[in-house]
Amino acid sequence: MYWHAMFLQELKSVLQNVPEIVEVVGISDVKRILEITEQDGQEKVKSALRSIFTKLMSASKDMITEVTSKMINRLHSESQVRQLTEKERLVLELEKQYPSDVGVITAYFFNYVKLNPGEALYLGANEPHAYLFGECIECMATSDNVVRAGLTPKHMDVNTLCSMLTYKQGFPEILQGIPLNPYVRKYLPPFDEFEVDSCNLPEQESTVFPAVPGPSILLVALGEGIMYSNSPRGDVIIEGDVLFIPANTELNIRSASRLQLYRAGVNSSFFHPSS
C-alpha cells in the first residue's frame, strides 16, 4: 500500500501541474484518476493509467508537436520565477535531443533513476525503460521482441507497447551486489535467466572468480591482464575481449593495468531452488 499511495499522489500531481497532458488525453480520464483514493485497489489505478498512457502515446504527431512546444515554453518561463524540479529539467534535456517526440511528455510517467558506480537494477518483462546517459553494462534474457515507442529514430510500435505493459506502480529495487571477495561482486536478479559478477581490479593485483555450476560469458570492459583457468598457462586478456567460460571453471585473474571485468551466467537459483 505504501508504494501504491506514493505513486498515486505523484500521478495526481503530474496531472494537476502539467496541463499539456490534460490537453492531449482529455479531462474525463484525468478526473477519473483524481477521484481515486488510497483505499481503491491497484487494478483501478492500473486501468486508469493504461487509458491515459495509451491516449497520450496514440496522439497525432501534430498534436504532440503542438503541446510539446507549449510545455517547453511554459517551463522556460517558469524557470525565471522558480526552480524547476529534477523531472522538469530532464524533460527540457530530452526535448533538445528528441524534439516533438512523445517520449518527452511521457517522461512524467516514468521513474527517474540515477545509479552510482557499483549499483544495478533489474527490469521485469514488459516494463518500459529508456537509457539516458552514462556507461553501463546491460544483460538481457532471451526475448522474442524489443518494442519501441519513443525517444528513438527507429521503428515504433505504439499499439503493441501499450497493450503489453504491466502498468505496475512503484520504484525499482536497486541492487548493491553481494561481495564474493574484495574485488568481485555478484548481482542476483529475482529470476532464473542470469546473474552478473563484476570485478574492479587495481593495477598489479590478483583475484578469483569462483567456479559456478553453469556456463558463462566474460567481458573485458577496461584494461588488460592475464587469466588462468584449468591450464597453468595464462591467457592475455585485453579490453574488448569476450570469452566463453565452461561450467565449474575457477578463474584466476591478474591485472597489468586497472581491469574491469563482467561475467554473466545462469542464475544460481536455477541450480539451487528454494525448498
**pLDDT tens per residue across span 103-120:** 899 999 888 999 999 999
pLDDT for the residue numbered 130: 85
Residues 149 and 84 reside in one and the same domain:
yes
Half-sphere exposure in the Cβ direction for 196 (13 Å, CA): 21
Check if 148 is active-site: yes
Number of domains in the chain: 2
pLDDT for the residue numbered 84: 96
Residues 149 and 214 reside in one and the same domain:
no
Residues 146 and 231 reside in one and the same domain:
no
d(CA 151, CA 238): 34
Name the active-site residue from 50, 74, 89, 148. Answer: 148
pLDDT for the residue numbered 195: 94
- Select from 164, 189, 221 the last residue of a domain: 164
d(CA 251, CA 186): 15
Q: How many CB atoms lie within 10 A of CB 138?
A: 8
d(CA 171, CA 96): 26
Given the C-alpha cell 488525453, which residue does it identify? Answer: 25
Q: How many CB atoms lie within 10 A of CB 123?
A: 12
Residues 128 and 60 reside in one and the same domain:
yes
Residues 21 and 148 reside in one and the same domain:
yes
In a domain, residue 108? The reply is yes
By residue range, what is the domain housing residue 232? 178-271
pLDDT one-digit tens code per residue, 195-214:
999 999 999 999 999 899 99
pLDDT for the residue numbered 2: 35
pTM of the shown model: 0.81
The low-confidence residues of the chain, meaning pLDDT below 50, are 1-3, 275
Residues 32 and 118 reside in one and the same domain:
yes
